[in-house]
Amino acid sequence: MKFFKSVTAIALSLTMVMGLAACGSGSATPDEPEQNTQEGQEEEAPTGDAKTYKIATDTTFAPFEFEDESGNFVGIDIDILNAIAQDQGFEVDLQVLGFSAALQAVEAGQADGMIAGMSITEERKERYDFSEPYYDSAVVMAVSATNEDIQSYEDLAGKKVAVKVGTEGYAFAESIKDEYGFEMVVFDDSNGMYQDVTVGNSVACFEDYPVIAYGIQQGLPLRLNDTQEAGNSYGFAVSKGKNAELLQKFNDGLANIRENGKYQEIVDSYTK
Ligand code: GLN
């Protein structure tokens, strides 16, 4: 009997360890069935079986994710994610990594999913599964507010153009760089890219319209070029074929917060 008990105890602790590991990786295995409490030891009050998912995001991509004046990490993506987590009863372990690093973390299984103003592209669909689109976007060219010389892509010949690694803006710049004869300067984050343009090293950058328009509205000394390239909507992503359960929760929660007005409330709080 004693032997049996200790075997149960070991099995119990193993189950807990495995349970924790499953939590950490957000794997789709169902929760382990409840174990009997050990003799003379009260089981702790259940804290619920809320799963914690590691969600990767970008560092600076206002109004989607950024640090506000009080040092809080906020934004449309963050608020949407938290509202969905609350609606669907899961916990979020946010990993603020930067865009390219987030892409890699998800692919490598170090994060369960990502939300980072990530455009749903055909190419990415080969490596990621996306949620329903939650925000429309497009790529635009921005130049320094004081620079009148750059009016079109033709004016980029022989000049430097700032881009952010791994992004749609980068891919677009790359696709036209030989045609228009410019050189690309690559940054890890959007702020570095903007700065390169404002100090005059690069004459232009390619960025998502909702992000650069917000920046300019907040006082970023840049000006938009008229040409808006066709862009792709943003989606929440998981690694292809993995975390289908998390993706489902995201979609279900998104539908709910759209219906109950929370989604619009969040968007308005940043864009109005
Ligand atoms: N929407 C762009 C993309 O998916 C940029 C995202 C970002 O910089 N966070 O490539």
Name all domains of the chain by residue range, CATH numbers in brackets: 52-134+235-271 (3.40.190.10), 137-231 (3.40.190.10)
**85 Cα to the center of ligand 1, angstroms:** 22
Question: Which ligand 1 atom is the nearest neighbour of the CA of 231?
Answer: 1
Q: Is 222 in the pocket of ligand 1 (CB under 6 A)?
A: no
Kind of pairing between the strands at 66-67 and 204-208 = unpaired
Q: Is 100 in the pocket of ligand 1 (CB under 6 A)?
A: no
Neighbours of 269 (CB within 10 A): 12
Residues composing the chain: 272
* Phi, psi of 19, rounded to the nearest 5 degrees: -60, -45
Question: Which ligand 1 atom is the nearest neighbour of the CA of 164?
Answer: 8
Instruction: Give, using CA atoms, the residue closest to atom 10 of ligand 1.
Output: 167
pLDDT of res. 5: 35
pLDDT of res. 226: 80
Closest CA to 56 of 109, 120, 115, 135: 115
Q: CA separation (Å) from 196 to 19, 144, 205, 223?
A: 47, 10, 9, 14
Closest CA to 216 of 131, 140, 103, 114: 140
pLDDT of res. 122: 95
Q: Is 207 in the pocket of ligand 1 (CB under 6 A)?
A: no
Neighbours of 33 (CB within 10 A): 6
Question: Which ligand 1 atom is the nearest neighbour of the CA of 171?
Answer: 10
pLDDT of res. 45: 45
Q: CA separation (Å) from 223 to 73, 93, 212, 214, 260?
A: 27, 36, 9, 12, 36
> pLDDT in tens for each of the 272 residues of the chain?
333 333 333 333 333 333 333 333 333 334 444 444 344 444 444 456 789 999 999 999 999 999 999 999 999 999 999 999 999 999 999 999 999 999 999 999 999 999 999 999 999 999 999 999 999 999 999 999 999 999 999 999 999 999 999 999 999 999 999 999 999 999 999 999 999 999 999 999 999 999 999 999 999 999 998 878 878 999 999 999 999 999 999 999 999 999 999 999 999 999 98
Closest CA to 237 of 110, 70, 125: 125
Task: Find the helix or strand (DSSP H, E) in which 7 lies.
Answer: helix 2-25
Mutation pick for ligand 1 pocket among 119, 134, 165, 187 (CB with most ligand atoms within 8 Å): 119
Task: Find the helix or strand (DSSP H, E) in which 247 lies.
Answer: helix 244-259
What is the token pair recorded at 140?
Answer: 């635009």
